[in-house]
Amino acid sequence: MKETIIEGNLCREFYTAEKCYITELSNTPDDPEASIARARVEPGITTRRHRLRGTSERYYILSGKGIVEVGELAPQEVYPGDIVLIPPMCPQRITNTGSEDLVFLAVCTPRFLIDVYEDIEDSSMRE
């Protein structure tokens, strides 16, 4: 990695099959150690259950409220300022329980690559 400044551009938001909107804030081969994305989940929506191979993820809740399901933990409410730690291969999903968008940062280490994503919506959380 070398010193650089990446200009933010929330207009690059795209919808995913996971049922949320993503804006890649920092995800480049020049910084393979980490990536940062802004995720937005609309009211009443639950993202698809998934896990990441070889990649840890952290959610930092910016706004809204929801219920997160992570691994063996009981479902838990999350609010702005909360941080959710998700180890590699840990099943996860989040539900927006509020009336406004649920917005959070997803920080992945190493950086997120699409080939590490596994949709496990139709399988048990206890795999």
CATH number of the CATH domain containing 108: 2.60.120.10
What's the domain range around 115? Answer: 12-119
pLDDT on residue 73: 97
Tell me if 126 is assigned to some domain.
Answer: no
Query: Rounded to 5 degrees, what are φ and ψ at 12?
Result: -85, 15
pLDDT along the chain (127 residues), means of 10: 81 93 94 96 98 98 98 97 98 98 98 96 59
Residue 5 lies in a domain: no
pLDDT of amino acid 9? 77
Give the predicted TM-score (pTM) of the model.
0.91
Residue 125 domain-assigned?
no
Q: What is the pLDDT of residue 124?
A: 52
Q: What is the pLDDT of residue 126?
A: 41
Count how many domains the chain has. 1
Q: Is residue 78 part of a domain?
A: yes
The pair of structure tokens assigned to 69 is 């399901």
Give the other-Cβ count within 10 Å of 47's Cβ: 22
The Cα 107–Cα 77 span in angstroms is: 20
Would 1 be classed as within a structural domain? no
Question: Is 55 a member of any domain?
Answer: yes
Instruction: Give dist(CA 87, CA 21) in Å, integer.
Output: 22
pLDDT of residue 123: 61
